[in-house]
Structures are given as C-alpha cells and as structure tokens.
Amino acid sequence: MKFFTCQQIINEPIVKISIKTDPKNLERVSKQLIRRFGNLFNILTSGFQSIDILEKNCDKGSGLIKLLNHIDSSTEETAARRIIAFGNEQNDLPLFKVSDVCLAVTNACESLKKNTDKVILSNQEQGVLKEILTWYSDADHSQDCRAT
C-alpha cells in the first residue's frame, strides 16, 4: 500500500477543511479540535453538522475588511457606510465583530444569539429578506445603510 501527502495529491493551497459529524458529537469534536489545534487554526462550527478549519487569520470578518479596503481604494466615494451582518453559526462571529448591526436568525446557535443586536425570524420564515426590506423601506435607515 502506498500513502500520499496532501502536497502530492493537491497542487493548490488548502483554504478550508470541513468535517461533517453527527449533531450529537458536534460540540465535543469541535472542543477537542480547538484544544488540540486552536493555536494554529480557526476552528468554528458552520452549520449542517460541520466544523470548518481555516488559516488562523482567515474568517468572514477579515474577508469583509479586505473587501471594504479594496472598495475604498478603488473608488473616490468615501461615503459613510453602515454594515449589517446576518448570521446563524459560530463562523459568523468574526463577521459580527466588524459589523455595525448584527442580526441572528431564530434558528442560530446560542453563542451567536448572545452576540447579536437583534434576533430576527428564522431562515425558513425568510427572516433575512424581511429584515432587509424593513431597513430599506424605513426612511430613517435608507440613506445611511447598505446591507452586506
């Protein structure tokens, strides 16, 4: 039997590893991975009984900051923007940390709900769409808000 390293099989850099597990084991497996590898990688649950393993400085928050820096450097428009983030899992926590308004759906994990400005209707109830429509139809918000 012959074994191969990832470098021998994959010619591209690995960006993310996703692990699927039984919902009953998700928290236990996640905690074990964080204890063992948390100093090296970002390890977050991402829904659908998945655990994501990413580079230490790679997450939704850092991605949003890079995007905003790119937009700001490629345009002369420097108008104030207000970032509204929607989330449902632990992998949304870094996004919430860099956003102005943080909204979790009712079916979100408890750790995200504890870090939100408001809990909105669930995904199944079209909570995100309804909240966006509310923000854009409200005259107080329509001038200073861009949904992300």
Give the range among 81-85, 95-99, 131-135 with minimum mean pLDDT: 81-85
Determine the residue type at 62.
Answer: S
* φ/ψ (deg, to 5) at 30: -60, -45
CA angle 65, 93, 148 (to 5 degrees): 50
Same domain (yes/no): 88, 132? yes
Same domain (yes/no): 97, 35? no
- Determine the pLDDT at residue 16: 87
Is the residue at 1 inside a domain?
Answer: no
Provide the CA 4 distance to its chain's centre, in angstroms.
32
Distance in angstroms (rounded) separating the CA atoms of residues 52 and 44: 5
* pTM score, whole prediction: 0.75
pLDDT confidence tier of residue 147, bands split at 50, 70 and 90: very low
Is the residue at 11 inside a domain?
Answer: yes
* Structural domains in the chain (count): 2
Is the residue at 100 inside a domain?
Answer: yes
Q: In this structure, what token pair is assigned to residue 107?
A: 């079916």
Domain that holds residue 81: 60-147
- Determine the pLDDT at residue 145: 47
pLDDT in tens, 3-31: 667 667 777 777 889 999 998 999 899 99
Same domain (yes/no): 68, 120? yes
Same domain (yes/no): 19, 81? no
Same domain (yes/no): 51, 113? no
Query: Is the pLDDT assigned to residue 113 strictly greater than 80?
Result: yes
